Amino acid sequence: MTTFKKIAIIASGVIIGLSGSAFIADQYFEISKNLDIFSTAYKEVNTYYVDEVEPGKLIRSGIDGMLNSLDPYTNFYSEAEIEDARFLTTGEYGGIGASVAQHGEYVMITEPYDGSPAQREDLRSGDIILEVDGKSTRNKVSADISKMLKGQAGTEITLKIKRDDEIIIKKLKRDDIKLKNVPFYGMIGDDIAYIKQTGFTNDAGKEVHDALEELKKTGKVKGIILDLRGNPGGLLHEAVNIVNCFVDRGQLVVNTRGKVKEWDKEYRTLNAGLDLDLPLAVLTNRGSASASEIVAGTIQDLDRGVIVGQRSFGKGLVQNTRPLTYNTQMKITIAKYYTPSGRCIQALDYTHRNEDGSVGKVPDSLTHEFRTKGGRIVKDGGGIKPDVEVDAQKLSTIAKSLYDKNIIFEYANKYRNTHATIVPTAQFKLTETDWQDFMKFIANKDYQYTTETEQELEQLKAKAEQEKYFDAIKTDYDDLKKKLSHDKKTDLERAKVEIEELLELEITKRYYFQKASVESTFDDDTDLKAALLILHDEARYKSLLKVK
């Protein structure tokens, strides 16, 4: 090599090195410059703004505004919110064990958890919280009351509640509350094991493993249903542990890739699988997200089971909790995850926002095809598409109105307060006497609603007026509107079966809590019925896992 060439190569290397250094320097300068701008702007506002400002609130608004420009999963937690952040990963907190919601000027108990202090002291859904430790709760929001109810295990708390027209004082001792990831499991019929999983906090994998192990001891299991519907996800490693229940050790489940390359990781199963052969159906819907999608996507990619239900949410992002100063924390999106076939199922593109700041879905034209272990085609960019799609169950307009206006909720409270016990969930059915009692209960209730046909008729009217055709069809419109005018009594009879099902669900929850939320829906669950048909048809099950 000539001396000239050596000099040229060295020079080019120096130029490249200098360019890289210059780029890094520019980045640091931009960061330093903008931090200085923010600091001076804050000082000017704090010094000269016409009214007094609260420094903490002002800075928090700035932090929240910055993070809102990224994605909804990157969040800041103040020292006071650390307990909430811990709950997201552990499912544990100190408190009385009950969910609450706004109810006019006060907050009410919506659900006490089975085995919690709230349940042991007979707090009930619908109880209005008037005071906490002698302090009025009037005009306080549910988040404020939730914080008041939480506290160190073993500490006492006194609640003044209103139940119907009765004022009751309840003294409770807080406890360590751990929400179960698997609130229900059991056999459906004689041969199908069913596991309902609602979270991915610590020990989720163990809970699924233990449930399946216990069900298999019956010796009758010929198929498995893992229900991930409405499960928003959680810890990534627990998703790996759950997949490990159904596949053997050493299998790639997911890999993550982000800007910091040393954080790029592969996650593989570590243990022997509990069951590698039984037919498996995983139920998903729009509420199945994140870790739920890792489980469903991996099971699909490995052809280990079939996915049944509706397309999942489409969250392909990974978050990591980072400690900040003064006992604060930040949960920040650090990577995207990819299932074994190589696909990322992220549905929304937060990187390339529209001009108005809104976020669009990844268009079909930009999605890519991937192959499962057996060669079936799957796609990225929009959640997990089920192998067997089932139309989502839809409530009638009148049933939805009764549910949304909390009338069914309120009747279930009334029923609980007048019936000390009921038969087990699987046996409970609303009687005709109960139905007539419900009719009396809603006689003076406001549950106005507009049917879909009426809505479409109004849209037709608006369009006709816009295009100057309405005068010509006004008579026909008035006649049609009159014919469509709904009769509540008739609509109630038409929707009687589904309204009874909603009532049975709410009533059994008052006695059997989360378990009833699952078990009471078995009779009319279309996703579940579709999964059962597949698991009982060996030829169809195998055909779904083959290349078409």
Please name every residue paired with 100 in a beta bridge, in sequence order, or none if there are none: 109
Residue 81 belongs to some domain of the structure: no
Mean pLDDT to the nearest integer, 98-127: 95
More confident residue, 54 or 81: 54
Supply the CATH number for residue 255's domain: 3.90.226.10
34 with 131, same domain: the answer is no
Task: Say how many domains are in the chain.
Answer: 5
- Read off the pLDDT of residues 274-309 as tens digits, 9 standing for 90 and up: 999 999 999 999 999 999 999 999 999 999 999 999
Q: Is residue 17 predicted with pLDDT exceeding 50?
A: no
Examine the domain organization and report whether 206 and 319 are in the same domain. Answer: yes
Q: How confident is the model at residue 20 (pLDDT cuts 50, 70, 90)?
A: low
Instruction: Give the pLDDT score at 123.
Output: 97
Question: Last residue of a domain, which of 178, 201, 227?
Answer: 178
**Residue 14 pLDDT more than 50?**
no
pLDDT band at 221 (very low <50, low <70, confident <90, very high): very high
Task: Classify residue 439: in a domain, yes or no.
Answer: yes
pLDDT score at 11: 43
Considering the candidates 175, 275, 301, 387, report the single residue annotated as catalytic: 301
Question: Do 436 and 466 fall into the same domain?
Answer: no
pLDDT of residue 21: 62
The DSSP annotation for 174-233 comes to: -EEEE--S--EEEEETTTEEEEE---BSTTHHHHHHHHHHHHHTTS---EEEEE-TT---
Taking alpha carbons only, the member of 116, 181, 186 closest to residue 149 is 116
Quote the Cα angle for 113-118-119, to 5°: 60
What confidence score (pLDDT) does residue 28 get? 80
Residue 78 maps to a domain: no
Judge whether 296 lies within some domain. yes
Q: Is the pLDDT of residue 418 over 70?
A: yes
Work out the average pLDDT over 474-492: 81
One domain for residues 441 and 361: no
Tell me how many degrees the CA angle 408-413-414 measures, rounded to the nearest 5.
95
Look at residue 15 in the predicted model and tell me its pLDDT.
46
Catalytic-residue membership of 315: yes
Residues 6+ apart with CB under 8 A from 438: 411, 430, 499, 503
Range in 42-51, 410-419, 443-452 the model is least confident about? 443-452
Instruction: Select the more confidently predicted residue: 42 or 242.
Output: 242
Residue 290 annotated among the catalytic residues of the structure? yes
Lowest mean pLDDT among 82-91, 315-324, 373-382, 387-396: 82-91
pLDDT 10s digits, 361-394: 877 778 899 999 999 999 998 899 999 999 999 9
Residue 31 belongs to some domain of the structure: yes
The confidence score (pLDDT) of residue 110 equals 96
Instruction: Choose the final residue of a domain: 155, 178, 201.
Output: 178
Q: How far apart are the first and last CA of the chain?
A: 59
User: Average pLDDT in the 237-263 region?
Assistant: 95
Domain identity same for 136 and 272: no
Residue 364 has a CB neighbour count (10 Å cut-off) of 9
CA distance 389 to 310: 6
Which of 484, 367, 503 is CA-nearest to residue 434? 503
pLDDT at 4 over 60: no
Give the DSSP H/E element, type plus range, for residue 355: none
Regarding predicted confidence, which is higher, 548 or 497?
497
User: Domain check: are 274 and 312 in the same one?
Assistant: yes
Mean pLDDT of 43-50: 91
Both 437 and 316 in a single domain?
Answer: no
pLDDT band at 82 (very low <50, low <70, confident <90, very high): confident
pLDDT of residue 483: 74
Whether residue 240 is predicted with pLDDT greater than 90 in this model: the reply is: yes
Could you tell me the residue range of the domain that residue 9 belongs to? 3-53
Residue 12's pLDDT is 43
| 158: pLDDT strictly greater than 60 | yes
Model pLDDT, residue 24: 64
Total count of residues recorded for the chain: 548
Three-state secondary structure call for residue 145: helix
Question: If pLDDT is split at 50, 70 and 90, which confidence band does 349 have?
Answer: confident
What pLDDT is stored for residue 6 in this prediction? 46
- Please compute the mean of the pLDDT values over residues 227-233 and round it to a whole number: 97
| Structural domain contains residue 70 | no
CA 98 – CA 200 distance, rounded (Å):
20
**Structure-model confidence comparison of residues 245 and 29, the more confident one:** 245
Say whether both 129 and 29 belong to one domain. Answer: no
CATH code of 172's domain: 2.30.42.10
Kindly report the average pLDDT of the chain as a whole number. Answer: 91
Do residues 153 and 172 both lie within one domain?
Answer: yes
- Between 485 and 537, residue with greater pLDDT: 537
In a domain, 320, yes or no: yes
Of the candidates 116, 142, 288, 290, the residue annotated as catalytic is: 290
Q: Per-residue confidence at 486, pLDDT binned at 50, 70, 90?
A: low
Residue 258 has pLDDT above 90, yes or no: yes
Active-site residue flag, 301: yes
Residues 355 and 442 in one domain: no
d(Cα 34, Cα 149) in Å, to the nearest integer?
41
pLDDT for res 30: 86
Please count the other Cβ atoms lying within 10 Å of the Cβ belonging to residue 249: 11
pLDDT for 476: 85
Residue with the bigger pLDDT between 482 and 399: it is 399
User: Are 275 and 198 in the same domain?
Assistant: yes
Please list the residues that pair with 135 across neighbouring strands. 132
CA distance 406 to 404: 5
- 397-421: average pLDDT: 95
When pLDDT is cut at 50, 70 and 90, the band that residue 85 belongs to is confident
CB proximity list for 366: less than 8 A, separation 6 or greater? 381
Structure tokens at 524: 């009319």
Say which residue, 130 or 20, is predicted with more confidence: 130
pLDDT at position 322, please?
Answer: 92
- Which of 180, 196, 315, 515 does the annotation list as catalytic? 315
65 occurs within a structural domain: no
Shared-domain flag, residues 406 and 292: no
Q: Which residue has the higher pLDDT, 470 or 453?
A: 470
